Amino acid sequence: MSLYSICEWLQNTGWGTGIRESTWVFPIIETTHVLGLALSVGTVAILDLRLLGLGLKRESVSQVMGQILPWSLSGFAIMFATGILLFWSQAVKAYDSVFFRIKILLLFFTLINALVFQFTVYRSMAEWDRAPVTPLRARLAGAVSIALWIGIIAAGRTMAYKF
């Protein structure tokens, strides 16, 4: 069984067809996906800007992170769940879309960037937490995160116009 045939099967299940052909369900899921994206990426951008030293300089990175992380994770969970439903309803189109593949690749790189930050830079945060200018590796993690999320959003929006 090929990946394409799995996508065909998934799209043609009752759930996939129901989501795709519903007057209200698909737009509600898509709107919820965008709201989850705004919540997740918006809050991550606040942290990234703090890492870059471009905002909230009077707040420690740990305070900013502690306050926004629950919101970021909630937004990501919403975005992830609704993204799966959107994929489910149009799996073949997504499979054929170069922009979908770019989006997934960029999401993977975003995960790698977050893990590298968590297991390297974050471990020494106590030393630089209150500094108005964070270490180069923290600034790089913030800049890479912003760039990746811009790419993910651009690829996702382009998918809608190239389906």
Walking along the chain (163 residues) 10 residues at a time, the average pLDDT comes out as 94 95 95 97 96 91 94 97 96 95 97 95 90 91 98 93 70
**Can you give the pLDDT at residue 163?**
59
Residues in the chain: 163
CA distances to 22, 86, 98, 100, 149 from 12, in Å = 14, 13, 21, 19, 31
Which structure tokens are listed for 96? 């054929």
**Can you give the pLDDT at residue 160?**
78
Determine if the pTM surpasses 0.85. Answer: yes
**Can you give the pLDDT at residue 55?**
87
If we measure between CA atoms, which residue out of 51, 45, 48 comes closest to residue 131? 51
**DSSP secondary structure string for all residues of 10-40:** HHTSHHHHHHHH-SSHHHHHHHHHHHHHHHH
Handedness of CA 98, 11, 154, 70 (dihedral sign): negative
